[in-house]
């Protein structure tokens, strides 16, 4: 059983709408990263949060934003949804200082934008 | 710039055959980390192995083995006596020291037929 839980598992939104995806990390995992995986592609890094502060960002526009909370949960918010935002969104968590030992990934949220 | 190439998009073999998944990487850093992840149909990325750039020792874990060669920038993964349960998409990933992100290859879809 994975230690990272994501919700919802599936979501359908209309272009232009806003969406919030949620992730619950393992207790003590103070680093969380979000990845976007388009169909047939490898995951792409969106951003990382460490102790509730953004700690790195990939090539994604500002309409992708996030939050990390003290209870090890986090959110990915996407505004003004576009059709190309349709993808599997993966959350990954790790302990401080151990991220190079491998992140723990959730099962993802599959977002479809119509 | 970091880059990971998995040239094999899809591989299909019969159960009990050996299969090797190729991974070639590019990085300018001298300290980096290489990973293999397995993604079953359920979507989560399952951590298989991590290697740092100073450790070229090959590793065997049950039916799995990994061959890391810095001279050719390759980190190949072999499954011996494949089983139907090995069917999944396999990703090779790279992380430079100090970087927050994992850079993934495109993935190799492995199908083991009974």
Cis ω for the linkage preceding B107 (within 30 of 0)? no
Q: How many other CB atoms sit within 10 Å of the CB of residue A19?
A: 18
Residue with tokens 């949220």: A109
- Say which residue the tokens 């992100």 belong to: B101
Averaged pLDDT, A14-38: 93
Report, as an integer, the average pLDDT of A8-12: 97
pLDDT exceeds cutoff 70 at A51: yes
**Is the Cα torsion angle B53, B101, A88, A6 positive or negative in sign?**
positive
pLDDT at position A103 is 81
Give the pLDDT band of residue A1 (cuts 50, 70, 90). very low
Please give the residue that has the higher pLDDT: either B52 or A20: A20
**How does pLDDT run across B15-28, given as a tens digit for each residue?**
999 999 999 999 99
Question: Cβ of B4 under 8 Å from any chain A Cβ?
Answer: yes
Query: Is A7 near chain B, with CB under 8 Å?
Result: no
pLDDT digits (tens, 9 = 90+) for B35-72: 999 999 888 899 998 888 988 888 888 999 999 999 99
Q: What is the pLDDT of residues B82-98, one digit of tens each?
A: 999 999 999 999 998 87
pLDDT digits (tens, 9 = 90+) for A88-109: 999 998 876 555 566 889 999 9
Which residues on A lie below 8 Å from B88 (Cβ)?
none
Q: Residues of B numbered 37-96 whose beta carbons fall under 8 angstroms of chain A's beta carbons: which are they? A: 37, 42-47, 50, 52, 91, 93, 95
Q: How far apart are CA B97 and CA A72, in angstroms?
A: 24
The fraction of chain A above a pLDDT of 70, given in percent, is 92
In terms of CA atoms, which chain B residue is nearest residue A99?
B100
Is B23 an 8 Å CB contact of chain A?
no
**How close is the nearest chain A Cα to the Cα of B50, in Å?**
6
The three-state secondary structure class of B85 is: helix
CA A29 and chain centroid, separation? 15
CA distance A12 to B64: 38
B43/A92 CB distance under 8 A = no
Q: Which of residues 60-99 of A touch B (CB under 8 A)?
A: 88, 90, 92, 99
Given a contact cutoff of 8 angstroms between Cβ atoms, the answer to whether B48 and B39 are in contact is no
Residue B32, Cα to own-chain centre: how many angstroms?
15
Closest chain A residue by Cα to residue B107: A42
Hey, which residues does A24 pair with through a beta bridge? A5, A73
User: What average pLDDT does this structure show over A60-74?
Assistant: 94
Instruction: Determine how β-strand B108-113 pairs with β-strand B10-14.
Output: parallel
If you measure CA to CA, which chain B residue comes closest to A5?
A: B44
Tokens standing for residue A106: 């959730």
């Amino acid at each position: 059983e994975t230690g990272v839980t994501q919700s919802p598992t599936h979501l359908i939104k209309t272009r232009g709408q806003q969406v919030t995806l949620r992730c619950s990390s393992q207790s003590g995992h103070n680093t969380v990263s979000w990845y976007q995986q388009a169909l047939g592609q490898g995951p792409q890094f969106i951003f990382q949060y460490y102790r509730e502060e953004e700690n790195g960002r990939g090539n994604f526009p500002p309409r992708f934003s996030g939050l990390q909370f003290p209870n090890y949960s986090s959110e990915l918010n996407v505004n003004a949804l576009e059709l190309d935002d349709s993808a599997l969104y993966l959350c990954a968590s790790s302990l401080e200082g151990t991220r190079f030992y491998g992140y723990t990934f959730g099962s993802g949220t599959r977002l479809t934008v119509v | 710039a970091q880059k990971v190439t998995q040239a094999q998009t899809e591989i299909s073999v019969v159960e009990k055959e050996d299969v090797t998944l190729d991974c070639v990487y590019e990085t300018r850093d001298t300290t980096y980390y290489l990973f293999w992840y397995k993604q079953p149909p359920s979507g989560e990325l399952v951590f298989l192995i991590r290697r740092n750039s100073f450790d070229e020792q090959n590793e065997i874990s049950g039916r799995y083995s990994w061959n890391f060669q810095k001279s050719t920038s390759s980190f190949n993964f072999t499954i011996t006596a494949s089983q139907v349960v090995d069917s999944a998409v396999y990703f090779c990933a790279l992380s430079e020291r100090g970087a927050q992100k994992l850079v993934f290859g495109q993935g190799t879809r492995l199908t083991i037929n009974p």
